[in-house]
Copies of this chain bind each other. A is one copy, B any other.
Amino acid sequence: MAIPAETFFLDPDSDQTLQQQIQQQVAEAILTGRFQPGERMPSSRRLARHLGVARITVTIAYTELVANDYLASRGRSGYFVSDNAPRPPNFAPQAAPTESRVDWSRALGQRFSHRATLTRPPNWRDFRFPFIYGQADARLFDHQNWRLCALQALGQKDFEALTSDYYERDDPRLIEFILRHILPRRGISARPEEILITMGAQNALWTTAQILLTQRRTAVIENPCYHGLRDILSQARCITHPVDVDEGGLPPDAIPGGADVVFTTASHHCPTNATMPLERRKALLERAARDGFLIVEDDYEFEIPFLRSPSPALKSLDGEGAVIYTGSFSKSLFPGLRLGYLVASEPFIREARALRSLVMRHPPGHIQRTAAYFLSLGHYDAQVARMGRAYRRRRATMDEAIRENGLKVSGRGTFGGSSYWMQAPDGIDTTQLAQQLREQSVLIEPGRAFFGADQNITSHYRLAYSSIATARIPDGIARIAQAIREST
């Protein structure tokens, strides 16, 4: 039986090529049993005419399908569905029960979905004034070289790195580059057994909490604080003690007795951007040695210092091995990469590696290798330098627009960063403000998520400039100022 050309159609809105669309339709029809082995395909001439495409497009699609054994070519008789084509199953799927009859309120042993995290709309790229934090800017990313590195990492000689289930170790090239080039820039010197690749900083912090904290132990966090860390600690069910930060970040004197682990963003406090002075760092390390607590240093944003050199990491001053350092490529490359790392004493890294193996085995090898190439060929530093130049321009524009519009800055960072911590006038609830601004295509981040649920602090908000074009900044800031005026 011949398959009529009319069963094919092209989707003008598809983002796939014409050839791919044809290939996909044939494969799908065979896999679902709509086309049967032995049936004759429309001739390439006929199908091309029907679809209004070049004949060569159909021919290439057919050739691909022959290579994959979906079709067989019988010389001048044309193309047929292959006898060896993948077969559909010989049983009909049963309709899914629309309602589960299980009592899930009883069946779920632990719940994770009650957390109210700061969210941004999935379509944030469609907003004209996206003052949102931590997302990649397509205009600044060196897509071309990333692609070349990925392609190289997909080559035949990297097959093992791509496919292997190598959960005891990480990509040695990536580890080497981080040890030799990334960590020294933070003043940190470490050995290979003191580092572990993680699925981003979130995964690094989560891992740390699992290993160090129990229900009887006390974690000290900064207040305000990265909301993802609050979520992690609430799930770990440890005792959590928030300590208010000031313009120098976390004050070591305010840490209560009995702390087991102190979490800090010393170099660049999240979200206020405060940098902890050297004296405080030394005092913090001394207290850690005296009181016997560990310090987790979340160095989430060091890579983009464009105003002046950053101070070395807290970890670089750590003579006791009491600092667990977390770093990430989310800001300098892109967050969807999900690559970060933990640097700590070997006994800790050993447990972190075992836990990682239990939870997920390992971060995909291909991604590790691609990053290793991108780093070692110098693209990474070039990328960071390029972002630094753009951020410096944006920040100057932000400074000017904020001043002109009379908005109040609560913290802006001294060596760089990508955001301002802002203070709205008394009486303004920034959660509502953010909601109103969305209607004007402006995205800001209300500050409430950075405080504890029991604190009713609603007047802060964060303005990031990592995803907004410089030219849009003045208009966006003006809209925020206007919305604030209308709300007071």
Q: Does A367 contact B (CB under 8 A)?
A: yes
Q: Does A78 contact B (CB under 8 A)?
A: no
CB contacts under 8 Å to B, within A69-127, are: 69-70, 84-86, 88-97, 99-104, 106-113, 115, 117, 119, 122, 125
Q: Sample 23 A-B pairs with CB under 8 A, ordered by A number.
A: A24-B376, A31-B181, A68-B378, A68-B379, A68-B381, A69-B385, A70-B378, A86-B378, A92-B187, A94-B317, A96-B189, A101-B322, A102-B294, A103-B292, A107-B212, A110-B351, A115-B358, A146-B154, A147-B154, A231-B358, A337-B364, A337-B366, A338-B361
Q: Which among A64, A101, A109, A113 has the highest number of chain B CB atoms within 10 Å?
A: A109
CB contacts under 8 Å to B, within A353-404, are: 353-355, 357-367, 376-379, 381-382, 384-386
Which chain A residues have a beta carbon within 8 Å of chain B's beta carbons?
15, 20, 23-24, 26-28, 30-32, 64-65, 67-70, 84-86, 88-97, 99-104, 106-113, 115, 117, 119, 122, 125, 134-136, 138, 141, 143, 145-147, 150-151, 154-157, 159-166, 168-169, 181, 183-191, 194, 199-200, 202-203, 206, 210-214, 217, 231-232, 235, 260, 289, 292, 294, 309, 312, 316-322, 330, 334-338, 345-348, 350-351, 353-355, 357-367, 376-379, 381-382, 384-386
Query: Which 7 A-B residue pairs are closest in the complex by CB-CB distance?
Result: A100-B321, A27-B378, A68-B382, A86-B381, A165-B335, A163-B334, A100-B345
Report yes or no: B385 in contact with A351, Cβ–Cβ below 8 A. Answer: no
What residues on B are CB-neighbors of A320 within 8 Å? Answer: 97, 100-102
Stoichiometry, copies per complex? 2
What residues on B are CB-neighbors of A385 within 8 Å? Answer: 69, 84-86
A66 to chain B, nearest CB (A): 10
A474 to chain B, nearest CB (A): 26
Known: A163-B336, A165-B134, A336-B162. A351 touches B154 (CB 8 A): no
